[in-house]
Amino acid sequence: MKITRAAEYAIRCMVYLVRKGKGTLVSRREIAHQAEIPAQFLAKIAQELARAGFIEIRQGAKGGFVLINEPKEMNLLEIVETIIGEISLNESSALLDFCSDPNQCPVHSVWTDATSQLRDTLQGVTFDKISKKGSCISIEKPKSDK
Amino acid sequence: MKITRAAEYAIRCMVYLVRKGKGTLVSRREIAHQAEIPAQFLAKIAQELARAGFIEIRQGAKGGFVLINEPKEMNLLEIVETIIGEISLNESSALLDFCSDPNQCPVHSVWTDATSQLRDTLQGVTFDKISKKGSCISIEKPKSDK
DNA sequence: TAAATTTAGGACCTTAAATATCTTGTATGC
DNA sequence: GCATACAAGATATTTAAGGTCCTAAATTTA
């Protein structure tokens, strides 16, 4: 019943890139260090974000990640679901078999409705909103860049 | 990001008891069979429901479970949280350390808000509402009671 | 073009939690 | 007292999360 660490890391990574600015190349090392994400684990997460089209990964020396989209065009739901798959509060498919019609059944339609509500809420949260001042994710000063 | 099986089983058990009627003794065997819950696992779940004051467990021959409260006085949230603990979408406590103030931070306050919304929704769903006709959980006919 | 840097991607490992099951003990009814 | 039915702790089994490791590949730079 929790957002996973991987999803939390993905969000931190995206917020970091947003704060650095769309199109700005940022090394994995810097993000991992500043956002406190295990570097190798971040690599895995970034690959999924890249496959989903949110960032571009540049290999080689001076490589790193680049934000592709406008912050206001990205929302929490799509980032989270890129990492953990479609959010669903419903019981597993094995349990759905028990219920002949989860959409009609008053017991099980609750989860369908609550899931929709949650997904709508997260969809409404765009990255321009959560990346402004006050965020716990602060960027490394460009000058002190190693 | 799912309700656990244990929680789903607890809900089925309560719905079954509600449909049988407050104060009606129902054997664990019957509930386990009709609601498709592993009997021993149901025992564990029932113990927690009993400790929380929702049902009474009668030991010995002709033992079983009895619903204590009025269906309209019980809601999904309290049953679910009895089994899986307080619902929270927030990241683990280890991750909260990263954020100095999850209530102020725009990144992390999202989870707090979404969690409140979800809990409110579940709190509004009382057992009299979900136990009416149309539910996938049907009770054994009293006459054919073995 | 060789070396250094940096990410890619698959294999593997560790831990924790969920999901039970087993066994022995205890309470109740007949 | 014996059968029945739940209690409760110990013990698997399975699954997923959360990482780590290692070799390869891409890119920059000397």
Q: pTM of the predicted model, to two decimals?
A: 0.91
What's the CA–C1' distance between B9 and D7, in Å? 19
Confidence bin at A95 (pLDDT 50/70/90): low
Confidence bin at A143 (pLDDT 50/70/90): very low
The nucleotide closest to A83 (CA, C1' atoms):
D17
pLDDT over threshold 70, residue A92: no
- Tell me if chain B has a CB within 8 Å of the CB of A91: yes
Number of helical H runs and strand E runs in chain A: 7, 3
Look at residue A86 and give its three-state secondary structure. Answer: coil
H/E run at residue A57: strand A55-58
pLDDT in tens, A65-87: 999 999 999 999 999 999 999 99
pLDDT tens for the 146 residues of chain B, in order: 789 999 999 999 999 999 999 999 999 999 999 999 999 999 999 999 999 999 999 999 999 999 999 999 999 999 999 999 999 998 766 666 788 788 888 988 999 999 999 999 999 999 999 998 788 898 887 543 33
Backbone angles phi, psi at B71, to 5 degrees: -55, -40
Instruction: Give the per-residue pLDDT at B40.
Output: 96
In angstroms, the separation between the Cα of residue A124 and the nearest Cα of chain B is 10
Bases in strand C with any atom closer than 7 Å to a protein CB: 4-10, 18-23, 25-30
Residue of A nearest to B9 (CA): A95
SS (H, E, C) chain B: CCCCHHHHHHHHHHHHHHHHCCCCEECHHHHHHHCCCCHHHHHHHHHHHHHCCCEEEECCCCCEEEECCCHHHCEHHHHHHHHHCCCCCCCCHHHHCCCCCCCCCCCCHHHHHHHHHHHHHHHCCEHHHHCCCCCCCCCCCCCCCC
Distance CA B93, CA B102 (A): 11
Closest CA to A38 of A28, A48, A47: A28
Contact B114, B88 (CB under 8 A): no
pLDDT over threshold 70, residue A93: no
> Of the given ranges (A32-41, A117-126, B89-98), which has the lowest mean pLDDT?
B89-98
The two three-digit tokens of residue B142, written as one number: 């009293």
The full set of domains in chain A, from first to last, is: 5-132 (1.10.10.10)
Q: Which residue has the higher pLDDT, B6 or A2?
A: B6
Asked if B106's CB is within 8 angstroms of A129's CB, the reply is yes
Q: Region A38-65: what's the mean pLDDT? A: 96
- Verify if strand D has an atom below 7 Å from the CB of B94: no
